[in-house]
Homo-oligomer: A and B are copies of this chain.
């Protein structure tokens, strides 16, 4: 187990520090999603510009909305004004990208994003999702600019975290001893009618109208169209507004040929720092207008002003652009459609912007509180980076909210569409972030699955068909997805303690297990057999611990739930099968790790056989997360997870021959899905076996930590993040089968493992068991009722601060602290408690329930 140390020292792996700041070449690939959950997003890229306009109800990678950028004008007394586009210099290559007509490769750097205008020479991009922080400066400018860009993201508050808005706060700091006149012009193209992907210019345009709006709270440009009717999928509204009082507004740029419009804008604004009003009414057919909202200010010497830009959108109708009947590929008319959840909350983009402005402080503070709470942990910086950066998947087009509010996820994103559909149960098995930050949304996933995706015989489809209620697929059940679902029900119930919810789903869970018996364990010996479709898009055949550990975990969780619900007969049955299976499964242990017992059939492709599969203990990992403990022999499990690291972790890929997809290469680090250290690699091993998947890396990293191999787990996480360094790949886009791949939401499980966090809401109990020696140790925690910060010290104390929501506790597990007595207070109020030693730590039990409200802290002091 020396491998991680050849790259990084233990100290490096445990370094606590601020989030990464991207500069220079490491800005090239950065793109930070701005937008709410289920609203789509637009990304702030490393230059400071906006790209990837995915607000039109589908992914839209690489898209650049014409002339949509900010420009800053600064006049120092007695000098000529200096004007800069609020973007850094474009990075090489400079030949242009893609195939286009008079654009793209061979036509030079993209110009419609303002790249030809004088840039800010130096740009940095930092912050942590959900808040991006940029600095922009230029030797010719007497100011520094700081941009804070975000969309509200507040754990447990799904609706406020689902606003179709991006807030861009430009703080301009005067570095001189004189007052400066400044003006910020923000331009927005009116794209309404846009079909969601492809060129912004085209016949879909026309009747686009930019109007000035001022309701006293916000003012700026309201964009509408009358070309399509309100129920048309391309219908929508946009708003470019500000709460700043001193503004100017040009609703329509000059309508002219060639480059006239941008010439006119630049020549006037760069000279005068303002634009004359111009309102030309609705655009002609096939065209649209750019409008400018300007903010003016005088910045006192050595002082700052913050100029807020609010970009809201509202595209109410979601069309199911994928699948459908043959021959109807190009025709939208017959395709199912539904309204976005946010469209049930808001009438148009201006209303969204108004609501945001009216609640700005609260939304900002809540979002900041999340980031601050997460970052003030003592977790290694690259772990926090993994947690926060991948939470951005929730603001990406991977995520939808259906009309009734149900959370829905693609696996990831094609360049211009979801990939693949249906809240895929096996991919979303890995994801933990939603369950812990937005538990009600996670439960809506369970609900949808058991309502719409289960046949009467218990067979569960693994892709939810839209609109809800559409016929299920005929395909195999996914063994991992079906069995993982039961562990997810258990987890979600543990987090919320909602017995009624559990009781509602329980018969479905029972059915799901019954189907598993019929399909994969007809003799109920607890060992999985038969044809097991799974997350590798193929079918494993024969006993293996990847599906087997899910099965054991599901049986164990089901037993617990049955007991709680008083279904003792089933509990006993599950227990029996579980115990049989635990014992029998050890036959798959080869002395070092668990193998697959595949049938001896030369025609059978895509198995792993004697390979060392990274996912071989995924059910055990899940069991740890939900507090089920070891479901297989602990020594074997530790040996096996070590073997996964030993054999599958690569400190470089120079010698790795991979005919499959390439997610790690050259000098990078990563964890292979499988290897065959003892030979006998099948002629055609299971597809993807030579690949490296971030989501599996987080799963294994978390599991390594659970088993005590902390350096190894941290090394795996560091490897993932090093691959997403802003030059190689986008830090806010871990892709697999497409961008913003949901499997990376497994990163949250690294927090769970490092903190040893356990929620047992039904019993009003929390527990922590940190795996890091930092003293004090601090981390973020969350349940369905509240979230906040946890701290503990080996000196014998622990604190739980509730940042938002509340927490009711009957007991608190302190897995690494020792004590025989405890004193507990909440904001000065004492709670009687007793403290009992348990293996490795202690358990504090309160005489009466402790109630911790928002902003309050429970302090527990231990003594011996």
Interface residues of A (CB under 8 A from B): 28-29, 61-62, 83, 89-90, 92-102, 104-111, 115-119, 121, 140, 197, 256-260, 262-264, 266-267, 270, 412-416, 419, 605-606, 654-663, 665-666, 683-685, 687, 690, 723, 727-730, 733, 735, 737-740
Bound Cα distance from A259 to B538, whole angstroms = 13
Residue of B nearest to A52 (CB): B105
Bound Cα distance from A740 to B737, whole angstroms = 35
Q: List 25 A-B contacts (CB under 8 A).
A: A29-B93, A83-B657, A89-B665, A90-B665, A92-B729, A93-B727, A94-B728, A99-B414, A104-B414, A106-B414, A106-B738, A106-B740, A109-B665, A111-B662, A115-B662, A116-B657, A118-B654, A119-B654, A257-B605, A258-B606, A258-B684, A259-B660, A263-B683, A266-B659, A267-B683
B657 lies within 8 A of A266 (CB): yes
Residue of B nearest to A263 (CB): B659
B735 lies within 8 A of A108 (CB): yes
What's the least CB distance linking A623 to chain B, in Å? 32
A105 lies within 8 A of B415 (CB): yes
What's the least CB distance linking A792 to chain B, in Å? 40
Bound Cα distance from A657 to B83, whole angstroms = 10
A118 lies within 8 A of B728 (CB): no
Interface centre among A111, A116, A256, A733 (most CB of B within 10 A): A116
What's the least CB distance linking A409 to chain B, in Å? 15
Which DSSP category, helix, strand, loop or mixed, fits chain A's interface?
loop
Known contacts A96-B735, A270-B657; 9 further A-B pairs (Cβ under 8 A): A90-B662, A95-B729, A100-B414, A105-B739, A108-B735, A111-B658, A116-B658, A260-B605, A264-B683
A102 lies within 8 A of B654 (CB): no
Contacts of A660 in B (CB 8 A): 111, 116, 259
What's the least CB distance linking A240 to chain B, in Å? 21
B666 lies within 8 A of A89 (CB): yes
A109 lies within 8 A of B259 (CB): no
Bound Cα distance from A110 to B665, whole angstroms = 12
* Given A61-B99, A102-B737, A733-B95, A661 contacting B107 (CB threshold 8 A): yes
Residue of B nearest to A89 (CB): B666
User: CB < 8 Å: which of B97, B116, B655, B690 contacts A118?
Assistant: B655
B256 lies within 8 A of A684 (CB): yes
Residue of B nearest to A111 (CB): B662
* Given A107-B737, A659-B117, A28 contacting B100 (CB threshold 8 A): no
B414 lies within 8 A of A657 (CB): no
Contacts of A685 in B (CB 8 A): 263
Counting every copy of the chain, the complex holds: 2
User: CB < 8 Å: which of B110, B118, B197, B684 contacts A656?
Assistant: B118
Contacts of A94 in B (CB 8 A): 662, 665, 723, 728-729
What's the least CB distance linking A290 to chain B, in Å? 12
Bound Cα distance from A122 to B7, whole angstroms = 22
A662 lies within 8 A of B101 (CB): no
* Given A62-B105, A665-B89, A655 contacting B140 (CB threshold 8 A): yes
Residue of B nearest to A94 (CB): B728
Bound Cα distance from A119 to B654, whole angstroms = 7
B416 lies within 8 A of A99 (CB): yes
Bound Cα distance from A655 to B85, whole angstroms = 11
Residue of B nearest to A682 (CB): B263
Residue of B nearest to A668 (CB): B94
Residue of B nearest to A686 (CB): B258
Bound Cα distance from A660 to B415, whole angstroms = 28
Contacts of A111 in B (CB 8 A): 658-662
* Given A259-B660, A657-B116, A659-B266, A414 contacting B101 (CB threshold 8 A): yes
Which 6 pairs from chain A and chain B are nearest by CB? A99-B415, A106-B739, A116-B658, A262-B659, A109-B662, A106-B735
User: CB < 8 Å: which of B106, B121, B256, B729 contacts A733?
Assistant: B106
A659 lies within 8 A of B93 (CB): no
Bound Cα distance from A723 to B94, whole angstroms = 9
User: CB < 8 Å: which of B89, B98, B108, B665 contacts A661?
Assistant: B108
Bound Cα distance from A733 to B260, whole angstroms = 29
* Given A95-B730, A98-B98, A735-B95, A108 contacting B415 (CB threshold 8 A): no
What's the least CB distance linking A577 to chain B, in Å? 35
Bound Cα distance from A661 to B96, whole angstroms = 11
Contacts of A262 in B (CB 8 A): 659
Interface centre among A105, A121, A267 (most CB of B within 10 A): A105
What's the least CB distance linking A731 to chain B, in Å? 11
What's the least CB distance linking A531 to chain B, in Å? 17
A662 lies within 8 A of B116 (CB): yes
B415 lies within 8 A of A106 (CB): yes
A92 lies within 8 A of B662 (CB): no
B661 lies within 8 A of A92 (CB): no
What's the least CB distance linking A136 to chain B, in Å? 14
Residue of B nearest to A29 (CB): B93
Bound Cα distance from A677 to B552, whole angstroms = 80
Interface centre among A94, A661, A663 (most CB of B within 10 A): A94
